[in-house]
Amino acid sequence: MRPVFEKRGVSKPLTRMSSAIKSDRALPLDLLRFLTRERHRIHLVGVAGSGMSGIAALLIELGHTVSGSDKVSTTETERLQRLGLRFHEQHRAEVADAADLIVFSSAIRSDNPILVDARDWGKPTVRRAEALAAIMRSKRGIVIAGMHGKTTTSAMTAHALREGGLHPSHYVGAEIPILGTNAHWDPRGEYFVAEGDESDGTVALFEPEHTLILNIEEEHLDFYADLAAIEKVFGQLIAQTTGKVFYNIEDENAARVCRSFTRRISYGFADEADYRAVDIRLKDFTSTFRVNHRGQEIGEAVLNVPGQHNVHNALGVIALASELGIGFEKIAKSLAKFEHARRRFEIKYDSPRFLLVDDYGHHPTEIRATLKTARSVGRKRVLTMFQPHRYSRTKALRKEFGRAFDDAERVVVTDVYGSNEAPIPGVTGQMIVDEIATHGHRSVSYEPCLERVHRVVANMLESGDLVLSVGAGNIHEQLSVLAADLVIAEKLKAIVGEDGDVRLYEPLSKHTTLRVGGPAQFWVEPRDEQAFAKLIRFCRNENLQLFVIGRGSNLLVRDGGIRGVVVHPCGGNFDKIEINGAEITAGVGAKLKEVAYGAKAAGIGGLEWMEGIPGAVGGGLRMNAGAMGAQTFENIVRVRYLDADGEAYTKTRDELEVYYRNFPLLEKNFAVSAVFRGQPAPLEEIVRKLEASQEKRRTSQPAAKSAGCIFKNPDSCPAGKLVDELGLKNSRVGKARVSDVHGNFIVNDGGATAAEMLELIEMVKATALARRGIELETEVQIVGEPA
Ligand code: EPU
């Protein structure tokens, strides 16, 4: 049907065997020539991967017609499309029909339809590293290899060579702002700097002129049997290096592997290092150090990426660039300008109160180094959110992970990011939590739901904290959500000032008498009317939803919580009660019970019924709450409120429209205070009425956690009586139960969810309608989003 490859053919098969690549049944191919001296149609399978996208960029710059497929599109594939990539968001064989060569990622399985089809037609297929090795052979290759710090060091090398005027081409494993892209082909220069990937052994395919070995350690134990197997691959890379090998003298394994190689150059802090850093000064995000070459000082360097491990990396770059003939001045200048790769101690948010940093670290050694750096920044505490990466690594290095978090005050671990691996039974984030706890860490917790991790960390947040996200998966997205919300939270904090309080994701179950409800995105406590007015205006301008909550006694918040700003006016005048003759002025935050007892103290009667309402003045006004046959507005003289623009008004009772359990003005306006009126009464009478109210509550209402009456009383029959008559007392859904004391109360038996409450409410309503034809209406306010 479509033997395109055979019809078109490829350029002449090769003869130079050293670079011959054979795929299953394809002809040997001179890959170096094919990729760098000729122009072809090339298809990349798995093009969205960070390594593959770099190859795509190089091939486009080399003049090939490049197509690619992946199951996801990313900003990287979009960028490449602008450069000429033909992208397909599915791996269908037809999309690679016209290609002369298929390059595939190591994450692609051998039964991928494009690979299967290519093999059927005898079309050559090569691995990413094979393509990279061939491209590199056309230039003077420099490979940066090792377990940790490759991306940073290869980016730093390419940058130093570029600043040194050598026009290097480069290929590194991540987006590097200072280099522009993760890969670039520069026809003007002789050198090609590449990050070597040791994870699948393909680093041994390289035949570079120079190699820099950062460190060698147990890693990728899904691929390697042990450390010896890893060292063997590095040994092969060194043996294939035609020029010099640079190595970190402090790394025992690297030093051992390089020992027998004669053209070796060491770097590090030790006396015997060929290139040595001395007088290292670490301060915040900057390191300053002097460099000696075989005992001779060659100058001072300033590095604007944090951490001692980066001084080490920079020293490797200094050694390499110096040996290529670049003057120290130029190297030092380039280092001072160097900016970190994305996701390497990347600052996501920085204010005097909070510092949020993301790091790609996924190996215990990297995590320890990152935490050490975080600690050295000098904030009060380090809170860490960690997402283990790959089941195989999590399992193999569990003990080391257990010991890696000593420098963090708090650790929250989420579940494993599998990458392309299938789960291994029993290997979860909990396993790492257990290891960390067994090691003796006292504050480590597990949050299996990734989307909740930022909330758990935010609930611990205190001014002065550094929050770190660590992991090679997608944990950084959680930090970004936190950073975005923190920007708003800090503005809210500026509005409410020192006295006010702002909290992120405050659980509303803490602020409702029913003890259910998800988090408030922003929980804000203003202490005065001006701050409240400013909050109203801020929310309007920023398009943020604003919800006011008092004592939360008549509130059922859904399990997903409330998005936007939840204002809880309390403290200051909001909690004050002032008595003037028979008039009592109370702020919206004052409890109705306190108004009743304040009135008693001043010898004012008529407000005793308020004793029985668990809410605050604000809620009492909003609901026109009532008990003992009385209701709020019977005692109201004036109400002061803020409108949607934050303007303050005072209205008298006769100017206000009020209904049973409803004061509509407060649907769009916000009460600040109210003036109540009673009448002078003998103390004994007040006490008697207060006691009657208490007695009524004690004998007819449950003591358990509830939101007061759930339903409004229908005209025909009190709701409690109706529920009772329907025999629904003690009906339950989960931990939500119709009280056996009073039928209009639903109680939380401990740990009930809003979903359970709502299901029970619906059940009662449906039964009342079916059996008595009565449509019950909820009195309790139901707000928020489902979980
Ligand atoms: N009743 C039953 N079975 C029950 C509950 C009540 O037969 O399980 C009967 C009572 O015996 C009484 C009638 O129903 O004859 C009314 O009950 P209750 O006197 O307890 O008053 P209510 O209308 O249920 C109202 C308020 C309460 C307030 C009390 C006491 C409403 C919706 N509820 O309850 O307010 O505490 O009066 O003054 O108006 C609240 O609004 O959240 C609240 C608790």
Q: What is the position in ligand 1's atom list of the atom closest to the CA of 627?
A: 38
Q: Using CA atoms, how far apart are residues 310 and 64, in angstroms rounded to an integer?
A: 37
Is 668 marked active-site? no
Please give the biggest Cα pair distance in the chain. 114
Catalytic residue among 195, 207, 346, 447: 195
Whether the CB of 725 sits within 6 Å of ligand 1: no
* Cβ-contact 31, 16 below 8 angstroms: no
Whether the CB of 720 sits within 6 Å of ligand 1: yes
Q: What is the position in ligand 1's atom list of the atom closest to the CA of 625?
A: 41
Is the pLDDT at 433 greater than 50? The verdict is yes
Per-residue pLDDT reduced to its tens digit, 284-329? 778 999 999 999 999 999 998 888 999 999 999 999 999 999 999 9
Say how many Å lie between the CA of residue 718 and the centre of ligand 1: 7
Is 195 marked active-site? yes
* Residue 33 burial class via C-beta count within 10 angstroms: exposed 0-12, middle 13-18, buried 19 and up: middle
Q: Please state whether beta strands 648-652 and 670-677 pair in parallel, antiparallel, or not at all (unpaired).
A: unpaired
Catalytic residue among 123, 139, 150, 493: 150
- Which CA distances in Å does 306 have to 309, 421, 483? 8, 33, 20
Is 151 marked active-site? yes
Whether the CB of 612 sits within 6 Å of ligand 1: yes
* Protein residue with least CA distance to atom 9, ligand 1: 721
What is the reported pLDDT for 138?
Answer: 95
Q: Which tokens sit at 784?
A: 């928020």
Per-residue pLDDT reduced to its tens digit, 602-640? 999 999 999 999 899 999 999 999 999 999 999 999 999
Put simply, whether the predicted model's pTM sits higher than 0.85 gets the answer: no
Per-residue pLDDT reduced to its tens digit, 754-767? 999 999 999 999 99
User: For 701-717, what is the mean pLDDT?
Assistant: 95
What is the reported pLDDT for 221?
Answer: 80
* Cβ-contact 675, 590 below 8 angstroms: no
Per-residue pLDDT reduced to its tens digit, 658-701? 999 899 999 999 999 999 999 999 999 999 999 999 999 999 99
Whether the CB of 184 sits within 6 Å of ligand 1: no
| Backbone phi, psi, residue 86, to 5° | -95, 110
Say how many Å lie between the CA of residue 254 and the centre of ligand 1: 79
Whether the CB of 721 sits within 6 Å of ligand 1: yes
User: For 732-737, what is the mean pLDDT?
Assistant: 98
What is the reported pLDDT for 10?
Answer: 35
User: For 440-444, what is the mean pLDDT?
Assistant: 96
Say how many Å lie between the CA of residue 708 and the centre of ligand 1: 10
What is the reported pLDDT for 17?
Answer: 30
* Protein residue with least CA distance to atom 27, ligand 1: 627
What is the reported pLDDT for 339?
Answer: 86
